[in-house]
Amino acid sequence: MNTEIIKIDPENIDPQALDKACEYIKRGELVAFPTETVYGLGGDAFDPNASRSIYAAKGRPSDNPLIVHIAEISDIYDIGKNIPKTAEILAEAFWPGPMTLIVEKSTSVPYETTGGLDTVAIRLPSHPIAREFIKRSERFIAAPSANTSGRPSPTMASHVIEDLSGRIPCIIDGGRVEIGLESTIIDLTESIPTILRPGAISLKDVAAVTKDARMDPGIGEENPSVRPKAPGMRYRHYAPKGELTIVEGDRDKVIERIIEECQTRTKTGSTSAVIACSESAKEYRDCLVFDIGAKMREEEIAHNLYDTLRKLDEEGIEYIFSESFDSPDMGVAVMNRLLKAAGHRVLRV
């Protein structure tokens, strides 16, 4: 399959270029497009065949539901039913933006889109191209992240091209995305709003408007017997080809230990690299360092994480050692993804 790449400037959207992409959607075909979180792989949410094509292109298990992207808050009544008041409150507070709400699905949404569930995930993105694309397609757009299943989500068009070129007919190149991690998913079908996947909107942000909110007990590491509620959070994800270890503890000890580990790998003829924040990147003498951004500005780390993981694969690094980036806000989302990428391999020093 030939993949058409349509370049669009988010600051000056060319409607004719965008309409070319929308034509694919109207014909039941797929288009990858930028959102403020990550690139999505879109198809008509009400067309079961489009959803089937999405699963096929990504190599994704068909029981892992898709997110339905809308252009106006009022669209939630077409996608969901028995919409709770909290949905309206959260929508007013955080949409358009990096938040996905789970509610009961309306009969219009096919089970192919929801992975067989009676609930549906809905998101109103803020990216100007995403919004115009949904509007001009005159459809609701079902879209997972536009990566091959198991790879880091794409934060720029080149990542999508790497994974899906030749497998989908069209990619909108709208430059690098702003946030770099997937949206916060909030389940509103439980008695308390429950975060199924942490993202740029934190538990604190949610609790500030809904009063009550909690994290899905299945996404922590404390109790491995509790399964995450979002099907996608159960799969092994984002695993780089090399063995990734997170090293935690006192800053100087972490640096010292990582240098030692890298030296050992060099001696035995293996390649190794370090993921470090800008503040300490220079201290890893004789190591190959990937500076992931300033710890002081945690959104920088989120922005760079997936691109860094992809670069480590490109370089064919066998052993990767990463600092820990825990912090109360974006750090929760960053560490959720990093721990998964490391298969929960953590060294405490």
Which option in Mg ion, ligand TXA, none does residue 76 bind, with CB closer than 5 to 8 A by kind? Answer: none
Q: Does 336 bind Mg ion (CB under 5 A)?
A: no
Residue indicated by tokens 């429950």: 194
Q: Which is nearer to Mg ion, 152 or 293 (CB)?
A: 152
Residues 129-148 that bind Mg ion (CB under 5 A): 145
With H, G, I as helix, E, B as strand and everything else as coil, classify residue 153: coil
DSSP 171: E
Which option in Mg ion, ligand TXA, none does residue 198 bind, with CB closer than 5 to 8 A by kind? Answer: none
Which option in Mg ion, ligand TXA, none does residue 100 bind, with CB closer than 5 to 8 A by kind? Answer: ligand TXA
Kindly give, in sequence order, each residue whose CB lies less than 8 Å from that of residue 74, ignoring residues fewer than 6 positions away.
Answer: none
Q: Does 168 bind ligand TXA (CB under 6 A)?
A: no
Cβ atoms of residues 27 and 34 within 8 Å? no
Q: Which stretch binds ligand TXA (CB under 6 A): 65-73, 157-165, 204-212, 272-280?
A: 65-73
Q: Does 149 bind ligand TXA (CB under 6 A)?
A: no
CA-CA-CA-CA torsion for 178, 179, 182, 187, nearest 10 degrees? Answer: -120
Q: Which is nearer to Mg ion, 152 or 257 (CB)?
A: 152
Q: CA 148 to CA 170: how far, in whole Å?
A: 15
For 64-93, letters b (16+ CB in 10 Å) and e give bbbbbbbbeeebbebbbbebeebbeebbee
Structure token digits, residue 217: 């007990």
Residues 171-230 that bind ligand TXA (CB under 6 A): 182-183, 185, 196-197, 229-230
Cβ atoms of residues 247 and 227 within 8 Å? no
- Least distance in Å: CB of 187 to ligand TXA? 6
- Least distance in Å: CB of 331 to ligand TXA? 18
Ranges of beta strands (E only) in 194-315 are 194-197, 214-215, 243-248, 272-276, 289-291
- Least distance in Å: CB of 245 to Mg ion? 24
Among 143, 201, 262, 332, the residue binding ligand TXA under the rule CB under 6 A is 143
Q: Point out which residues bind ligand TXA (CB under 6 A).
A: 35, 37-38, 40, 64-67, 100, 102, 114, 117, 119-121, 123, 143-145, 182-183, 185, 196-197, 229-233
